[in-house]
Each structure stands twice: as C-alpha cells, then as structure tokens.
Amino acid sequence: MADLIYIEYNFTVAPLQPASDILIAQLGEIGFDSFVENEEGVQAYILKDLWKEDSVKDVQILTNENFNISYDFKEIEQQNWNSEWEKNFEKIVVEDICTVRAPFHEKPNTEFDIVIEPKMSFGTGHHETTHMMLQHILEHDFKGKSVLDMGSGTGVLAILAAMKNAGSVDAIDIDNWCYLNAVENKERNNCNQINVFEGDVSLLKDQKYNIIIANINRNILLADIPSYAKCLTKDGILFLSGFYKEDIPVITEKCNEVGLKFEKNLEKNNWVAVKYVF
C-alpha cells in the first residue's frame, strides 16, 4: 500500500458552515474518501487512480453564489499521511462514556476506550455522523446480537459494538485501504468477534442480523435499504447516517416500502443519524 498516490485538495471555504459539510458530502459522492477540516476550510483526498480533475469542477456547491470556495491540489504520497493526521488528530469523548483516540494519546478513564489509526480511512468519530452513530450504539443493548457495520471505514462503529458484547460483527467496506485499516484496528482493540470484508451490498446473501449500522451517503443508502431489510431479523434495528435532516423524508419513504418505520433521530449541525425498526 505504501506506493499508493493520493491527490490532496485544499479548499478555502467562506463561510465555513454549512458549506464545509455540504462540500464534504458532495466530494464523497465522486470518490473522495478522507477529509481533514481546519480553520480555513477542508483538505480532501482521493486516490490518483480514481481522480479526474474535471469531475471536481462539477461539484455543485463550488458554483453556489452563497459561498466563496477556492482550491488547489497536489499529489501526496500515502506515507506522508501518518505524520499529517498525527499533527491534527485529537481524541474525542462521547457521552463521557467512550473515548476514540490514537495510540499516542494517554489512556482515558472512560468505560470504552477505542484506539485507532485512521490513516486514509473515514470514521475517526470527529465527523457528526460517526459521532452520532457512536451515541446510538452507546444507548442500545448489543449483548449477544449479530451486527453488520456497512461502510465501516476505520471500523470504529464495529469496534464499539464488539466492546458492548455483540455476539458477532461483520464490517464491510468497498475501499481496500479501509478494509486493511479496519482489520488493523480490530486487532489493535482485541475485537476477535469482528469479521472484516472488502466489498459492497452484493456480499449480503443469506445473512441475518439483529442490528445493521450504515453510515454512508444518501444515494447509496436509498439503493441498499431493501437489501438491509432482507437481512434484518423480524425485531431488527437499522441505524442510518451520512445524510442531512432534509433527507429524512425520502430515506423514511424507502424504509417504509420495505416495512421499516422511523423511530427516532439524532441531529448535529444538520446531519442526522436515524433509527428504524420493523
């Protein structure tokens, strides 16, 4: 993996919010897989093999008159990423119960202590969607449950589910680097009940889960919700995130079509994490 080359975009954004969140969401839909927010805007990363300079010009928010966004880009070798995230990565604490930190952070005095090296993977807990999904997991009983973490990124959500005594956890991500990173992080946290797979919803065949967690984006969720429903047990729970408050009606409509009903949602800076049940 050391020879992979990424393209780094530096976006200067004004005003920062909600423009930065919208920009990250729209870049994610065209293949960008990692983001670092700063005081001036956003750094975004995409594998050079997946990159087309012209595609960025079509990102909708860049032409929105309500925001002033400029950018430049450069090639960056992946091994440079480690020192970069170490300079910027701060530990987070969720509900005073769960800490997500890097190996170089001091061990916390919280019930759950998750140690990850995110590298180029998405899902450090800093983004609103990951943070809210961690909240959902903390609020619910996972003991002995079979769990699917779809679009697992670093594996942080799967790891917390395992720490809450889930019986088994499948973590799936389409990105090879996320797959390798999740394997590394599950071993780092001694979560032997986590099985990590590289792929997409096509991997789901006859599996059954008590709980499915999917933090991806609106379009992928809309396409994959029927597959999730087929894999859920009759008393199953579906947690979805990666979209905005205004997207709840269309997501809920798709869930209703397969028998899932809205139960509750968390909201942070217009991002949401929603719970659906049969």
Instruction: Please give the annotated binding residues for S-adenosyl-L-methionine, written as ranges.
Output: 130, 151, 173, 215
Report how far residue 77's alpha carbon sits from residue 170's, in angstroms, rounded to the nearest whole number: 31
Q: From residue 2, give the alpha-carbon distance in Å to each of 50, 84, 91.
A: 17, 15, 26
Report how far residue 222's alpha carbon sits from residue 227's, in angstroms, rounded to the nearest whole number: 10
Which region holds residue 148: left if phi is over 0, alpha if psi is between -120 and 50, else beta? beta
Annotated binding site: 130, 151, 173, 215
As given in the structure block, the two tokens for residue 124 are: 């450090």
Q: Which amino acid is at 100?
A: V
Report how far residue 211's alpha carbon sits from residue 143's, in angstroms, rounded to the nearest whole number: 11
Residues 6 or more apart whose Cβ sits within 8 Å of residue 139: none
Instruction: Tell me phi and psi for residue 140, to 5 degrees.
Output: -120, 160
CB 152 within 8 A of CB 123: yes
Burial class (CB in 10 A: 0-12, 13-18, 19+), 4: middle
